[in-house]
Amino acid sequence: MKVLVTGCAGFIGYHVVRRLLADGDAVVGLDHLGPYYDPALKRARVADLRRAGPLEFHVGDLADFERLRALAADVDVVLHLAAQPGVRHALLDPFSYERSNLLGMLHVLEVVRRRIPPPRLVWASSSSVYGGNARTPFAEADRVDDPLSLYAATKRAGELLAHSYRHLFGLETLGLRFFTVYGPWGRPDMAYWRFTEALFDDRPLEIYGDAAASRDMTYIDDVVDGVVAAVRRSVPDELLNLGNAEPIPLDRLVQTIERAVGRVARRIAAPPQPGDVATTFADLARAEAALGYRPRVRLEEGIARFVDWYRWWRSVR
């Protein structure tokens, strides 16, 4: 199988491409190596992928439509993971979300529908689309019209764009709603990385808002299982949750990291951040039925693996 992976230098893209290369699939990768977080980490991921197999990697932007079209010319599946992530960054740079998440998504859809026959499209949505929903666990059939951040609004917009293209052109699209993915080679802007870094640096941890706030945290290998199943399998679904179905309170996350690092944190209470939600919690019935998705890695194990990797990364970066 030949797969175009956008965002292949990113955290999730890196891990999925590693698995695809190991399985013998042909991979064309695209990433603009943007500066949202340290591009050296993105380059290190690409270097590691090149050691793993014959990756065809291109530095380029989703905004370059003709380039994207050329890269998708003969692939079986487009796996679209590139996006501007982050809830808080949108307050500083809203237009990066317009370019990567709105224009980028439309470009991907147009590239797919202009191919005859169109390749399948699997792409990254987000649990953030559930926004302020009170009923848990979050199920795909729930109404999602209360996004609490610009990031969430652009991901929901992507779902609606894909929906209209399915209706207009009969495309086969599958949006995966990821729930707080963590693990080795992760993202430095996410809480589990920032807490670990602060502990290593012997700095206090800033705890924003309520320490009882919780996130359904999903270990990267479980997410890769779900994404690769979605790449290989044609399913009738339009949207599927990929989570862990166990919301982890912030307090428990901090304690788990403390145990893995072997230090106790000093904590500073900070005000809640605009755009944050109280909880996320995935209903996984549909993903299990469609993809055989069943997460396996528990938080303690996943965080221990991350901390081991992070120790190594600090020693080589």
Do the strands 239-242 and 205-208 form a parallel or antiparallel pair, or are they unpaired? unpaired
User: Among 3, 10, 122, 282, which residue sits at the site for ligand NAD (rule: CB under 6 A)?
Assistant: 10
User: Considering only 80-88, 201-209, 257-265, 266-274, which stretch makes contact with ligand NAD by CB under 6 A?
Assistant: 80-88
Query: How far apart are CB 17 and ligand NAD at their closest, in Å?
Result: 11
Element containing residue 65 per DSSP (H, E): helix 65-71
- φ/ψ of residue 298, rounded to 5: -80, 160
Q: Is there binding between residue 256 and ligand NAD (CB under 6 A)? A: no
Q: Which residues contact 243 (CB under 8 A, 6 or more apart)?
A: 127, 177, 178, 179, 216, 218, 280, 281, 282, 284, 295
User: Considering only 175-183, 203-211, 233-241, 309-317, which stretch makes contact with ligand NAD by CB under 6 A?
Assistant: 175-183
User: Among 20, 49, 55, 62, which residue sits at the site for ligand NAD (rule: CB under 6 A)?
Assistant: 62
Q: Is there binding between residue 107 and ligand NAD (CB under 6 A)? A: no
Rounded CA separation 79/5 (Å): 5
Query: How far apart are CB 178 and ligand NAD at their closest, in Å?
Result: 4
Q: Is there binding between residue 7 and ligand NAD (CB under 6 A)? A: yes
Cβ atoms of 104 and 83 within 8 Å: the answer is yes
User: Among 85, 131, 183, 275, which residue sits at the site for ligand NAD (rule: CB under 6 A)?
Assistant: 85
Work out the end-to-end distance of the chain between its first and last CA atoms, rounded to an integer number of angstroms: 34
Q: Is there binding between residue 27 and ligand NAD (CB under 6 A)? A: no
Distances (CA, A) of 294 to 21, 169, 275, 298: 23, 32, 29, 12
Query: How far apart are CB 277 and ligand NAD at their closest, in Å?
Result: 12
Rounded CA separation 39/43 (Å): 6
User: Among 28, 79, 181, 299, which residue sits at the site for ligand NAD (rule: CB under 6 A)?
Assistant: 181
Q: Is there binding between residue 57 and ligand NAD (CB under 6 A)? A: no
Q: Is there binding between residue 126 and ligand NAD (CB under 6 A)? A: yes
Catalytic amino acids? 151
User: Among 3, 4, 5, 13, which residue sits at the site for ligand NAD (rule: CB under 6 A)?
Assistant: 13
Closest CA to 87 of 97, 79, 95: 97
Of residues 186 through 205, those in contact with ligand NAD by CB under 6 A are: 187
DSSP secondary structure of 66-100: HHHHHHTTT-SEEEE------SSGGGT-HHHHIII
* E strand spans, 90-145: 120-126
Q: Where on the chain is the footprint of ligand NAD (CB under 6 A)?
A: 7, 9-13, 30-34, 42, 61-63, 81-85, 99-100, 104, 124, 126, 178, 180-181, 187
